[in-house]
Chain A
Amino acid sequence: MEESPISRGFRPKRQEQTPTDRVPPGQYVTTDFPVLSAGPTPHIKVTDWTFALQLGGSLLGKWSWAQFEALPQTTIKTDIHCVTKWSKLDTTWQGVTFDDLLKEVGLSEAPAPFIMAHCDGAYTTNVPVADLVGGRGMVVTRYEGLPIAPAHGGPARLLVPHLYFWKSGKWVRRIRFMQKDERGFWESLGYHNYGDPWKQQRYDGD
């Protein structure tokens, strides 16, 4: 294939970073917060919002917004990494840890090894429970101290920052426990089933 000629004076806006202990390979750091959605942004009234944990046909727990806000709150500062190559450092989130959700429904451990997060707009993403417990996963409602904007997943989104950010499903409504792993929205369309940014697991087969 013929090489493209250099465009005189053109400089790329973003430079790929050398991987450091904070920036995974192939990523660049941004101070923006790009929005990527598989559908139009839903505008959800918190008075209509509910969140549930589900196993098979039964609900393990269900919360209204007021009830969810009354659960033990945890704040974390973390880095997030999108499969489209941007990384954002030192983002602050507040919400309820997966561990606390299990405690709330009276479980000392998860009833199944996998979950599927079900979100508005028919978006789904699958995560192993091992990647949610021990503080690794949360359902968050605040970003930088303020309610999460609808475009960024508000009123509540999943947060699993050690995996590519498509796993942190926006507009999460239900976490369904699964005995067998099933692939979610992007995972069934050629993206990696697990999505570890440190191993550059972007696509299936990586």
Chain B
Amino acid sequence: MANNVSDLALDGNTAVRLLQDLFVADITLAQIRCEACNAVQGVGSLATYGTPMGAVLRCSCCANILIRAAQTPRGLWLEMTGARCLKFQSLHASFKLGASGLKIC
């Protein structure tokens, strides 16, 4: 069951809303590089899996998991180990992601 990144998942928490609260810029406009195959894709074009338990964004080329996120009563979990970097259009920097996952509450 794949939905567009901008589509509804569970209780209004779409993949976009899960991620958007953490980023200043529009996450759907960012480009993302897969750490497994190096392909670059627009985040907005990615299929979203895992709803309604959470959001799983996979590389369209090699199906590697780029981003996983889940909203729980105790906080928002976000893991981005499958992404080498994100590039945001409206900011003049790229973010490099470390090897370990992040927990953001």
Contact = CB atoms under 8 A, between A and B. Distances in A.
Q: Are A and B close enough to touch in the complex, i.e. CB under 8 Å?
A: yes
Interface of A is mostly: loop
B70 A39 contact: no
A35 B2 CA distance: 11
A39 B59 CA distance: 11
B56 A190 contact: no
Contacts of B65: 38-39, 122
A36 B54 contact: no
A48 B67 CA distance: 29
Contacts, number: 59
Interface residues of B, number: 24
Interface in A84-127: 84, 121-122
A38 B70 contact: no
B54 A186 contact: yes
A191 B77 CA distance: 10
A205 B72 CA distance: 10
Nearest to B76: A190
A27 to B, nearest CB: 15
B56 A84 contact: no
A84 B1 CA distance: 15
Contact of B79 (A38, A40, A189, A191): A189
Interface in A151-195: 166, 185-186, 188-191
